[in-house]
Amino acid sequence: MKICIAGGLLINPKTNTEIITDLWIEDGKIVAIGENPEGEAEQTIDAAGKWIVPGLIDLHVHFREPGFEHKEDIKSGCLAAAKGGFTTVCCMPNTSPVIDNECVVEYIKAMAQKANGVNVLPVGAITKGQQGESLANIGKMYEHGICGVSEDGKTVMDAGLMKKAMQYVKPFNIPIFSHTEDHTLAGGSMNAGENAQLFGIRGIGREAEEIIVSRDIILAKYTGAKLHLSHMSTKGSIELIRAAKAQGIDVTAETAPHYFTLDDSILGDYDTNKKMNPPLRTKEDVEAMKMALKEGIIDVIATDHAPHHYDEKNVEFDKAPFGIVGLETSFAVSYTQLVQTGILTPMELIDKMSTKPAEILGIDKGSIEIGKTADITIIDPEAAYRVDPNTFVSKGKNTPFTGMEVSGEIIYTLVNGNIVYKK
């Protein structure tokens, strides 16, 4: 089928293009930009007043399958991804069984093929069973299609084993996603500080994150591995990353919309839908995340989409599991908080949500060019609405953004030239 996306503002960071034009798609590929190629379109999408951008890419999601399908499964996760404008997602390995061998990798791929077409890239565990004792069979998993390795949900606390993992993955040229949390310094439920004391909740100090950030940067320096630091939340971490990049160390980093939007002062209502790990930090940390995005110290916006069943969250704050959903709110919150406030340009936002993630993964996506696969997102930047978890297609409704007024709505998501979401 030949599709024409007509009259939209094409924003493509890869080629530094920002122009009102038509985009032509045929047989899953981009065949023309601007001028009408031979033949008429079988379907025309009116994109006047809308953005046409490369499909969004999320480096960090938890789809829970296998083992925790009551929270989310790959099918429902892919529906949420498409509604959020994401055409490619990387699913973390803390499932049951853990993604620590090629059989589970193949299972993830098979279930993804039965879903709506969104590209699901498995992330392999660093250690067997995520037990932190011995390396998983990373080489075999790489042969079967993992896009990187991570212990997400946990940290590889043995520095020698983490160094060995970095040395092992370096020849594969895939990133090692670091869950930055020193377990010996964790154990709380919110950010340690004045608000934790005020609310009577045990805190998690910034040092739990920053010690592992520092350690893994040092290991990356000496191994030459591609290190990607997950869910950055503290000002101190930003300073460590800034110094590492100045030294030329191969390190990239992500943060999530909640870390540049919300702070720990909102936890006085003990709403467990605002409990995540790392926790919401202070207003100073929130401002540091915004400036780090503006300066390019933080490379990527990821969601850390972590759905939980209602009953699991409907308990006392200290007993509730960590994690919030984010796929269906990520773009709108990011656009509202970063672009409408002048911190980022539209081009810079799309770079951090599509082009840069593709570069980190080393995949041929994140760009709108003739001959490329037509993974495309169409956005109405002027559409305003209130976040309502009852409208989510994810099984998880655990969002901290309920009732927030946002702008920027996903209108269409196309994967391989096929419409997988239409508002």
Helix, strand, coil percent content, the chain, rounded in steps of 5: 35, 25, 40
- The first and second tokens of residue 41, run together, are 């379109």
Query: Which of 410, 411, 415 lies closest to 374 in space, CA to CA?
Result: 415
Q: Which two tokens stand for residue 242?
A: 């800034």
Please indicate whether residue 304 is annotated as part of the active site: yes
Q: Which residues contact 408 (CB under 8 A, 6 or more apart)?
A: 331, 332, 334, 335, 336, 339, 379, 380, 381, 383
Pairing of the two strands 376-386 and 405-415: antiparallel
Contact by Cβ (8 Å): 327, 58: yes
Q: Identity (one letter) of the amino acid at 122?
A: P
131 Cβ contact list (under 8 Å, min separation 6): none
Quote the CA–CA distance of 177 and 86 in Å, as a whole number. 20
SS3 of 9, please?
strand
DSSP 8-state symbol, 214: H
Q: Would you state the structure tokens that stand for residue 60, as one six-digit string?
A: 């960090």
DSSP label at 188? -
- Residue found under tokens 């990187």: 148
Residues 6+ apart with CB under 8 A from 239: none
> How is residue 322 written in tokens?
């960590």
Rounded CA-CA distance 11/355 in Å is: 11
Tokens 């850390």 belong to which residue?
Answer: 304
From 22, 216, 299, 304, the catalytic residue: 304
Active-site amino acid positions: 304
